[in-house]
């Protein structure tokens, strides 16, 4: 994350006016979990608001004494309390008669399925925790997890939590080097992995990456390997154990170990401005409260809902809203191993129809990919079970928002566009589906108890209608507690830029009604002839055109205007690139936003370079736009994309 804004004058001009509004349906509002009075209650006394919920929602082995100790930038929540996360996510539901309720419906990409009830989950988690104990893992020891989307992944996380061993999950798409870097940073003692998984109809091997990583990780004493694909792998004698041996032979009785509220639950690594990823530190009680309460309030989760967060557990979205939040709420969830286009572009819609999924939470990238394929795919399926839709990870352009609402939500299901970060742990800016009148493309308002603001370069609140930097002005329960091993970097990255405030690294605007509009990372903001223009807005305008499926925009250095707008455009499947169309699209942006935003360059591309988490690599696009030599692309999901884009060089220029 960049924390240095590129210009001292931060006003961002939100030139795209989106005027349609969607009030909550009265029938939905009447039955909603979260009502408007939450905001008032939280504003009266935000500590009391969270403390009340911590007592009501979590099961404590020892009650806490102090709600919050806040010595900026270090927060301690629910001090003096003790509890166990896996007990709160599993055991207590069984004690209350929910042992036979399904915790996860798992769907493998090849079509195999597994169903785990909460009772099944308790058995598997307890056995896995006993296996970790056999390998010498004790409270406080770190465990690395490198797995595909299989049930053993959440089982492994809960097993760690059961014995107080913090985990670090490394997304299965990362390289051996990324894995060893993370293992060494946190000093993990054991690695839990698998032979491989399935993606786009192919076996994707993991164990060979793990082997390569473990060649340079002196702290790792043992590995447990799940047999997912049956692919032959090399097992190192004395170090490697098959899950079906070491876990299966364990007792299914493993008492949960109570830990202090501020005990480390996990580290999750995320990219920063330097080459070294940051180990974002999350702890126990505040995190579990923040994720479970937001999950219930924002997605309006009811006991018989079937909830699907279609992220990978390797990212924070999966940690908070596939594993901890939903399980603490005894929710039935979907876990899908594979790609959305395998075997065809209706795989998700088939799953929703088959399992009667009622809540879907996914990223705008996915929505735009589906849009590109056309509405015939979702139309083939009965999606009438859906009643709430969520969006996360990037600003959602109004066009995709409206498509999502119409073609997936049947024009009926409310959309919650949720803004948060790996660092924030829980959703912070979002509609409440039974309360908030939504505007397509706006994440609307801070969640009850959250104090968010938009400030100028001097940290002064920007009046309504203005843009600037998104900051948070008071602590919240699931906030990061630091960067592992680097308190200095923690302070510098998040707390130094604006004294007394957490700086999120995002640009935002508040409109005349007080709605928050996220405008992308501040380092993605262009400055064209003295006007600051968000890349997101130009992209949104491009995608608004009927021939465009997806677009990415960067600022290219320009002698006259400082920066010139360079647009990379993916057309919809039925469109042909042409010079005439390029002109038309540039004019379209000028029409929608104003002549200042007309891209000077526009290049048609078959795909966009994205990180494995689906974020467009704007820095790389900027390098391409400015003709610089390409840097290291090992974090690309598909490195051939870059070659393809380069082969398509010869941008249409003004
Ligand atoms: O720029 C914001 C964007 O994603 C960033 C956080 O990324 P990460 O830590 O990977 O977590 C993603 C999942 C929570 C933010 O700084 N972002 C996330 N959600 C939104 C968003 N931008 C706009 N609207 C959102 N709803």
Tens digit of pLDDT for each residue in 406-416? 999 999 999 99
**Total domains present in the chain:** 2
Report CA dihedral (65, 486, 455, 38) to the nearest 10 degrees.
-30
Centre of ligand 1 to C-alpha 203, Å, is 30
Centre of ligand 1 to C-alpha 437, Å, is 22
Parallel, antiparallel, or unpaired for β 240-242 and 222-226?
parallel
For position 246, which CATH number holds?
3.40.50.980
Centre of ligand 1 to C-alpha 473, Å, is 18
Residue to substitute in 393, 442, 525 for testing ligand 1 pocket (most ligand atoms within 8 angstroms of CB): 393
Residue to substitute in 18, 268, 438, 518 for testing ligand 1 pocket (most ligand atoms within 8 angstroms of CB): 518
What b/e sequence results for 408-435 when a residue is b if at least 16 CB atoms lie within 10 Å of its CB, and e otherwise?
bbeeebbbbbbbbbbbbbbbbbbbbbbb
The ligand 1 atom at the shortest distance from the C-alpha of residue 443 is: 26
Report residue 55 CA to chain centroid gap.
28
Tens digit of pLDDT for each residue in 632-654? 555 555 555 566 665 554 444 44
Q: Which of the listed residues 194, 226, 257 is the one where a domain comes to its end?
A: 257
* Pocket of ligand 1, beta carbon within 6 A: 270, 316-317, 392-395, 417-422, 443, 504-506, 518, 521, 613
Tens digit of pLDDT for each residue in 99-129? 999 999 999 999 999 999 999 999 999 999 9
**Residue 429: strand pairing partners:** 419, 446
What b/e sequence results for 24-35 when a residue is b if at least 16 CB atoms lie within 10 Å of its CB, and e otherwise?
beeebbeebbbe
The two structure tokens encoding residue 472: 């948070």
- Is 169 part of any domain? yes
**Residue 266: strand pairing partners:** 167, 282
The ligand 1 atom at the shortest distance from the C-alpha of residue 518 is: 23
Centre of ligand 1 to C-alpha 84, Å, is 29
Centre of ligand 1 to C-alpha 504, Å, is 10
Q: How far apart are CA 616 and CA 542, in angstroms?
A: 16
Backbone angles phi, psi at 509, to 5 degrees: -130, 150
Q: How far apart are CA 337 and CA 197, in angstroms?
A: 8
Per the omega criterion (within 30 degrees of 0), is the bond before 284 cis? no
Three-state SS for 129-163 is HHHHHHCCCCCCCCEEEECCCCCHHHHHHHHHHHC
- Binned at pLDDT 50, 70 and 90, residue 590 comes out as confident
DSSP secondary structure string for all residues of 249-299: TS-S--PPPPEETTSEEEEEEE--SSSSPEEEEEESHHHHHHHHHHHHHHT
**pLDDT, position 7:** 35
Centre of ligand 1 to C-alpha 141, Å, is 30
Mean pLDDT of 298-307: 98
Q: How far apart are CA 397 and CA 76, in angstroms?
A: 37
- Binned at pLDDT 50, 70 and 90, residue 394 comes out as confident
The ligand 1 atom at the shortest distance from the C-alpha of residue 520 is: 1
Centre of ligand 1 to C-alpha 469, Å, is 14
- Is 183 part of any domain? yes
Centre of ligand 1 to C-alpha 518, Å, is 9
Q: How far apart are CA 631 and CA 619, in angstroms?
A: 10
Higher pLDDT among residues 162 and 641, named by residue: 162
Q: Which of the listed residues 232, 257, 282 is the one where a domain comes to its end?
A: 257
Mean pLDDT of 294-319: 97
Query: What is the pTM assigned to this prediction?
Result: 0.84
- Is 449 part of any domain? no
**pLDDT, position 278:** 87
Report which protein residue has its CA nearest ligand 1's atom 15.
421
Q: Which residue has the tokens 């909550």?
A: 24
Enclosing H/E stretch for 225: strand 222-226
Q: Is 339 exposed, middle or buried (0-12, 13-18, 19+ CB in 10 A)?
A: middle
Is residue 280 within 8 A of residue 267, CB to CB? The reply is yes
Three-state SS for 570-588 is EECCCCCCCHHHHHHHHHH
**Residue 70: strand pairing partners:** 75
For position 535, which CATH number holds?
3.30.300.30
Mean pLDDT of 286-291: 98
Report which protein residue has its CA nearest ligand 1's atom 6.
421
Is residue 555 within 8 A of residue 563, CB to CB? The reply is yes
- Is 154 part of any domain? yes
- Is 312 part of any domain? no
Centre of ligand 1 to C-alpha 18, Å, is 21
Judge whether residue 560 has pLDDT over 90. Answer: no
- Is 532 part of any domain? yes
Enclosing H/E stretch for 108: none
Report which protein residue has its CA nearest ligand 1's atom 21.
394
For the ranges 81-85, 95-99, 222-226, 455-459, which has the lowest average pLDDT?
455-459
Residue to substitute in 419, 615, 617 for testing ligand 1 pocket (most ligand atoms within 8 angstroms of CB): 419
Q: Which of the listed residues 206, 227, 257 is the one where a domain comes to its end?
A: 257
**pLDDT, position 140:** 98
Centre of ligand 1 to C-alpha 247, Å, is 37
- Is 172 part of any domain? yes
- Is 464 part of any domain? no
Mean pLDDT of 9-13: 39
Percent of the chain, pLDDT > 90?
Answer: 76
550: left (phi over 0), alpha (psi -120 to 50) or beta: beta
Q: Can you give the residue range of the structural domain that contains 567?
A: 525-653
């Amino acid at each position: 994350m960049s924390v240095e804004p590129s210009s001292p004058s931060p006003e961002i001009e939100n030139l795209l006016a989106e005027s349609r509004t969607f009030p909550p349906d009265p029938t939905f509002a009447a039955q909603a979990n979260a009502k408007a009075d939450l905001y008032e209650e939280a504003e009266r006394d935000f500590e009391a608001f969270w403390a009340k919920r911590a007592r009501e929602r979590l099961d404590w082995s020892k009650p806490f004494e102090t709600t919050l100790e806040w010595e900026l930038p270090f927060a301690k929540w629910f001090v003096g309390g003790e509890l166990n996360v896996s007990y709160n996510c599993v055991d207590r539901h069984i004690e209350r008669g929910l042992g036979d309720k399904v915790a996860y419906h798992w769907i493998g990409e090849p079509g195999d399925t597994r169903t785990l009830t909460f009772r099944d989950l308790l058995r598997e988690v307890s056995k896995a925790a006993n296996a970790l104990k056999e390998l010498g893992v004790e409270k406080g020891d770190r465990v690395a997890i490198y797995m595909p989307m299989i049930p053993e992944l959440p089982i492994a996380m809960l097993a760690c939590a059961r014995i107080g061993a913090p985990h670090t999950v490394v997304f299965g798409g990362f390289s051996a080097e990324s894995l060893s870097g993370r293992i060494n940073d946190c000093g993990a003692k054991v690695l839990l992995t698998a032979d491989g998984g399935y993606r786009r109809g192919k076996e994707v091997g993991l164990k060979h990456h793990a082997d390569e990583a473990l060649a340079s990780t002196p702290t790792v004493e043992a590995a447990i390997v799940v047999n997912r694909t049956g692919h032959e792998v090399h097992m190192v004698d004395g170090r490697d154990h098959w899950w079906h041996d070491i876990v299966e032979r364990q007792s299914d009785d493993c008492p949960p170990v109570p830990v202090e509220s501020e005990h480390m639950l996990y580290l999750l690594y995320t990219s920063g401005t330097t080459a070294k990823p940051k180990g974002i530190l999350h702890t126990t009680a505040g995190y579990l409260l923040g994720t479970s309460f937001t999950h219930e309030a924002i997605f309006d989760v009811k006991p018989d809902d079937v909830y699907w967060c279609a992220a990978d557990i390797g990212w924070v979205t999966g940690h908070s809203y596939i594993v901890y939040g939903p399980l603490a709420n005894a929710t039935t969830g979907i876990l899908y191993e594979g790609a959305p286009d395998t075997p065809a572009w209706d795989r998700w819609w088939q799953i929703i129809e088959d399992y009667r999924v009622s809540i879907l939470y996914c990223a705008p990238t996915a929505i735009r990919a589906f849009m590109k394929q056309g509405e015939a795919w979702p139309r083939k399926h009965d999606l009438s079970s859906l009643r709430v839709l969520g969006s996360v990870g990037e600003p959602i352009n109004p066009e995709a928002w409206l498509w999502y609402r119409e073609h997936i939500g049947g024009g009926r299901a409310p959309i919650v566009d949720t803004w948060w970060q790996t660092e924030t742990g829980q959703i912070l800016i979002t509609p409440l589906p039974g309360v908030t009148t939504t505007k397509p493309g706006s994440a609307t308002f801070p969640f009850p108890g959250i104090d968010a603001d938009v400030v100028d370069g001097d940290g002064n609140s920007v009046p309504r209608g203005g843009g600037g930097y998104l900051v948070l002005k008071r602590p919240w329960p699931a906030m990061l507690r630091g960067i592992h091993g680097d308190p200095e970097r923690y302070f510098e990255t998040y707390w130094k830029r604006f004294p007394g405030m957490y700086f999120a690294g995002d640009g935002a605007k508040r409109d005349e009604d007080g709605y928050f509009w996220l405008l992308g990372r501040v380092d993605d903001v262009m400055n064209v002839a003295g006007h600051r223009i968000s890349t997101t807005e130009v992209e949104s305008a491009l995608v608004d055109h009927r021939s465009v499926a997806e677009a990415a925009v960067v600022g290219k250095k320009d002698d006259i205007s400082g920066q010139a707008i360079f647009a990379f455009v993916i057309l919809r499947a039925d469109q042909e690139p042409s010079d005439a169309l390029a002109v038309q699209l540039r004019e379209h942006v000028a029409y929608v936003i104003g002549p200042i935003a007309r891209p000077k360059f526009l290049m048609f591309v078959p795909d966009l370079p994205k990180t494995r988490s689906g974020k467009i690599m704007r820095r790389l696009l900027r390098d391409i736009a400015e003709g610089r030599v390409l840097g290291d692309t090992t974090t690309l999901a598909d490195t051939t994309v870059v070659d393809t884009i380069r082969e398509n060089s010869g941008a249409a220029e003004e």
